[in-house]
Structure 1
């Protein structure tokens, strides 16, 4: 069909505009389907995918910063029963988790098994001083051995010239030293270098992308309770793609031997990438009085005041029986009592909370800060000289850790170039076609009716 007249051309233009607009409209769901299919394909943990490259050996450097609580009045605590007064000292920074996953095995049931090699390299440029800096801290051996025969322990303490407190270097406190009481190596994280965390067994997401990176098995059987021994979620490094900010994210931490959840806090911009910030809720370490789900985590009624203390988790069952409690730094979100019997603590939400910044399309964690405080309990014991004056069980903070990592500029640029820029380009094409089509359709159709009306007027 030949269209030589001007009105006919306008009518053809309106049809052309309608076709373009329809094409733009069709591209919206089609484009979304393409994006969803591509992201899901690349999120599966198997060789050749983007997720596997990041999962097997992350290029993002992970650091552990340590702040120690230096006890300023050790003599007054021992001789007068005074409250310990502490002063924060740090950070002392180590590069950790720089080794790739080991013993990786893909299983027929769409899971992958592996172990995490552990190591720590001191970073002097990111620390306030050398590893040889000394700290006055609780004598770990006394706290550990207090359950033994008191008279015998008192004799050992006196014969080794030990006390309730000791002076140790940062390196010794973290990674271990030979103790004269236990006649063994002891430290907050000893043994660490050369050991492994795991084995882990996680879902690859090949048959169900919603389960990608979710931990299937880990050696968790410390709480002797079905609920508390459950492993929920991933290890926190990634989640299923297309994150819904109305749904909490669950992750497991071997440092505290339990699973926790984080809730959406706000949307942020991280180096040009939109991320959702998730943070722990106060209910995570709430007392069973306020959160009955935490009842099975309460192990000792005496030291937790009949399980009414909030903000501290007794992990002695998964730390070889040592009286270790985990909390947020400076007992953030904890009971006031914990800060009343230890002087010098100043909790701050911004500096002491744990958070994850998750890119919502891929589910990758691009920035995080896991903040944990290590505390040990000591209490009154009449048969032990250094504990004669102690009036009540005291949860003394020893150090707090900030395990942190964020994507560097190079990785951010690659992420934006390989994924976000393509999504943006597709959305731009969709919008341009839709808007241009609507404009062409409307202009041509209006012009057609104007020309037609003018022609009728001329004929009349």
Structure 2
């Protein structure tokens, strides 16, 4: 059957001879044609749509990725300098941030001091503190590829979320940070140019001032408000300066570093303050670098040598507190980095498991016990004044169970001794570019990452590998943004015998 077909643009139609078609007809430029001849045009349109759809879906992921990345760049509008939505939420996070403090109350302080008894503690908590964060003094520069800012924190005690017995004025028996720190400094007297006479004056002075290894102090005073400390008051007095002139070669009698104030608290004068100036990448030049720290508190990606003994330990890696990870590059084989100014160092996160947070598919990453403590990185070792003369067979100090052995010189690295696994010393004032002047140790709660010799040395500790995970981050892998962060750690005061002091 002869059929005549005609096309113009996207319009095509076909006509058949009258003898072969008796249906309705229409008149056009090319004669009378059957109305259903337009079906050919629909076929061509369908084929064109299919090809277009395939092409569209082929390029859609790239378009979506480009659009998403453009939204993740830290930026501001050209007119008026208003922050983009994502930048605004980062600078003024709507997240509910709570700090839960659990305090160990020493029940047998007198027996520990005078009879060398094993410490017995009970846990009190939580004392809940709400944290409000605001990033201020934002300044974009270098064609908006870098951003300078300061992160201010406000701490507000929340009595309703705290336990019934956990009030701001609740008294707790705690180690005396100042006295114990001073005694530790006296042990290393040669490093501070202390004469024997000066050492004796400080030794007896600590006794005369009524300083003991443990004190009763209120929660609010210990953490934020501060409490009067006799040793600090004496150290800053005019009388001490006069004695220093004649009895310690003209140097300050307290030639070792002491807090500048005569008031002591863990976070004294921290409220509504920042933790130093940050300079970070905005992601405009390379989205995989968004949030990466270029400098912190005037330090260009390297912490002071006084803090850590190796270059790898001193590196400032990743973003501030893990707020950013490379978008689209967070997967189960990723090793992620972040820097914590309050913990004076960088950490590595490794994949742990898949998770779902508020319906959002996520990947859970954690800091391993080896990376958290000094055993995985000798740069986080601490000065340990205890030594011994080996006799008999030497233990294998490469084994974790022998690291606590009193004669394990295998743990002697770079002129000092490694702490047991799962802990490291505080080297700076939390959130400050300033070397710490006190003896404290960070660890997982209840020494969960440490060998039994550590947590069994204190009655009342019950480490749990599931409940006491130190650092856990859940990231949405496409954006690299955290959807849940859980950080918990323990601060301990090292106490050791010193037979050279009273």
Give TM-score, length-normalised by structure 2. 0.70
**Superposed CA offset, 1:132-173 (max 9, x none):** 111111011111111236533443333333321111111111
CA distance in 2 between partners of 1:29 and 1:316 (Å): 53
Give the deviation of 1:239 after TM superposition: 2.0
Aligned residues of 1:132 and 1:169 also touching (Cα < 8 A): yes
Pair 1:140-2:177 in alignment: yes
Q: Which residue of 1 aligns with 2:368?
A: 281
Give TM-score, length-normalised by structure 1. 0.76
Q: Which has the larger radius of gyration?
A: 2
Q: How does 1:94-243 map onto structure 2 within 5 Å?
A: 94-96=129-131, 98-108=132-142, 110-128=145-163, 129-146=166-183, 147-148=185-186, 151-175=200-224, 176-183=226-233, 184-219=262-297, 220-221=303-304, 222-223=307-308, 225-235=310-320, 236-243=322-329
Higher relative contact order by CA 8 Å / sep ≥ 6: 1 or 2?
Answer: 1
CA distance in 1 between partners of 2:35 and 2:67 (Å): 46
Q: CA RMSD in A?
A: 2.5
SS at match of 1:252: strand
Paired residue for 1:249, among 333, 336, 347?
336
SS at match of 1:352: coil
CA distance in 1 between partners of 2:463 and 2:46 (Å): 62
Pair 1:50-2:85 in alignment: yes
Aligned residues of 1:314 and 1:325 also touching (Cα < 8 A): yes
CA distance in 2 between partners of 1:239 and 1:232 (Å): 11
Q: Which residue of 1 aligns with 2:23?
A: none
**Superposed CA offset, 1:400-430 (max 9, x none):** xxxxxxxxxxxxxxxxxxxxxxxxxxxxxxx
CA distance in 2 between partners of 1:186 and 1:308 (Å): 26
Aligned residues of 1:151 and 1:383 also touching (Cα < 8 A): no
Give the deviation of 1:11 after TM superposition: 8.0
Q: How does 1:18-417 map onto structure 2 within 5 Å?
A: 18-47=47-76, 48-96=83-131, 98-108=132-142, 110-128=145-163, 129-146=166-183, 147-148=185-186, 151-175=200-224, 176-183=226-233, 184-219=262-297, 220-221=303-304, 222-223=307-308, 225-235=310-320, 236-245=322-331, 246-288=333-375, 291=376, 294-302=377-385, 306-307=417-418, 309-316=420-427, 319-353=435-469, 354-382=471-499, 384-385=501-502
Give the deviation of 1:119 after TM superposition: 2.2
5+ long unaligned stretches in structure 2: 1-11, 16-33, 77-82, 187-197, 234-261, 298-302, 387-403, 405-410, 412-416, 430-434
Give the deviation of 1:384 after TM superposition: 4.4
CA distance in 2 between partners of 1:22 and 1:352 (Å): 56
SS at match of 1:188: coil
SS at match of 2:59: helix
Change (3 A) 1:334 1:27: farther
Change (3 A) 1:81 1:3: farther
CA distance in 1 between partners of 2:136 and 2:330 (Å): 32
